[in-house]
Chain A
Amino acid sequence: MTWHSFLNFSTMEHRHLLAAYATVLIVQGGYFFWVLRGWMRSKNTRK
């Protein structure tokens, strides 16, 4: 498989593969940035 076929939206199997991988990155990334935001804010309040 190549980047071209990974980012291919013309078939359902490729759309679903991309959607699944994007879902993982969005959920994990979203949680990470939510924790990071809390960390930065908690640091500021203690200064």
Chain B
Amino acid sequence: MNGARIMVIDDEKIVGKMIKSTFEQDGYTVETFVDPQPALARLEEEKFAVVITDLKMKNIDGMQVLETIKAGSPETKVIMITAFASMDAAIEALRKKVDDFFPKPIKIKDLKACVKNLLNE
């Protein structure tokens, strides 16, 4: 088991909870946040291998989170999930160097495969 650090940011609490339970089963270390603000602060303190973030959130937009992470530590992989998957949003995320894009509802198996792939395991 690898033990890579994964961060989940989604204002829907259950999303973080379920990703945490299933990913920890595979040996990952998962931290979850419902508010992007403290999540970004936590990223300053410690490096995460993968950040999974929602696109539409109350205070800070997922797009902004992506930009901040890619500006601070480009090697951190970012996966964006959204319930409102518009083509425009996907294109904008790709331009901002998102590593993958998942429309809701998410398939945990696909998400796991994606993370594994991004971490070259």
Partners in one complex: no
Which A residues are closer than 8 A to B by beta carbons? none
Which B residues are closer than 8 A to A by beta carbons? none
